[in-house]
Amino acid sequence: MEVSVLNIKGEDTGRKALLNDAVYNIEPNDHVIYLAVKQYMANQRQGTAKAKERSEVSGSTRKLGRQKGGGGARRGDINSPVLVGGGRVFGPKPRDYSFKLNKKVKVLARKSALSYKAKENAILVLEDFTMEAPKTKEFVGILNNLKVSGKKALFVLPGTDKNVYLSARNIQRVDVMNAAELNTYKVLDADVMVVTEKSLKIVDEILTK
How far apart (Å, rounded) are the C-alpha atoms in residues 86 and 206? 54
Residues 6+ apart with CB under 8 A from 112: 26, 28, 29, 30, 32, 33, 184
Assigned domain for 39 exists: no
Assigned domain for 82 exists: yes
pLDDT tens, 84-112?
Answer: 999 999 999 999 999 999 999 999 999 99
Assigned domain for 177 exists: yes
Asked if 149 and 143 count as a contact pair (C-beta separation under 8 A), the reply is yes
* Terminal-to-terminal C-alpha distance of the chain: 20
Mean pLDDT of all residues in 140-157: 94
Assigned domain for 36 exists: no
Query: Do 73 and 21 belong to one domain?
Result: no
Confidence at residue 42, expressed as pLDDT on a 0 to 100 scale: 97
Query: Do 107 and 91 belong to one domain?
Result: no
Query: Do 91 and 165 belong to one domain?
Result: no
Query: Do 162 and 126 belong to one domain?
Result: yes
Q: Which residue has the higher pLDDT, 190 or 73?
A: 190
Other CB atoms within a 10 A radius of the CB of residue 99 amount to 10
CA distances 122 to 30, 56, 88, 89, 195, Å, are 18, 54, 50, 50, 11
Per-position DSSP letters for 5-42, written without gaps between them = EE-TTS-EEEEEEE--HHHHSS---HHHHHHHHHHHHH
Confidence at residue 1, expressed as pLDDT on a 0 to 100 scale: 82
Assigned domain for 107 exists: yes
Query: Do 137 and 64 belong to one domain?
Result: no
Query: Do 169 and 115 belong to one domain?
Result: yes
Asked if 159 and 178 count as a contact pair (C-beta separation under 8 A), the reply is yes
Mean pLDDT of all residues in 113-126: 95
Model-level pTM? 0.85
Query: Do 115 and 156 belong to one domain?
Result: yes
How far apart (Å, rounded) are the C-alpha atoms in residues 193 and 178? 13
Confidence at residue 209, expressed as pLDDT on a 0 to 100 scale: 81
Query: Do 17 and 115 belong to one domain?
Result: yes
Assigned domain for 41 exists: no
Query: Do 78 and 105 belong to one domain?
Result: no
Asked if 131 and 138 count as a contact pair (C-beta separation under 8 A), the reply is yes
pLDDT above 90 for 207: yes
Assigned domain for 155 exists: yes
**Structural domains of the chain, count:** 2
Query: Do 134 and 184 belong to one domain?
Result: yes
> Which domain range does residue 61 map to?
46-96
pLDDT above 90 for 70: no
pLDDT tens, 31-58?
Answer: 999 999 999 999 999 999 999 999 999 9
Query: Do 54 and 129 belong to one domain?
Result: no
Assigned domain for 50 exists: yes
Asked if 156 and 177 count as a contact pair (C-beta separation under 8 A), the reply is yes
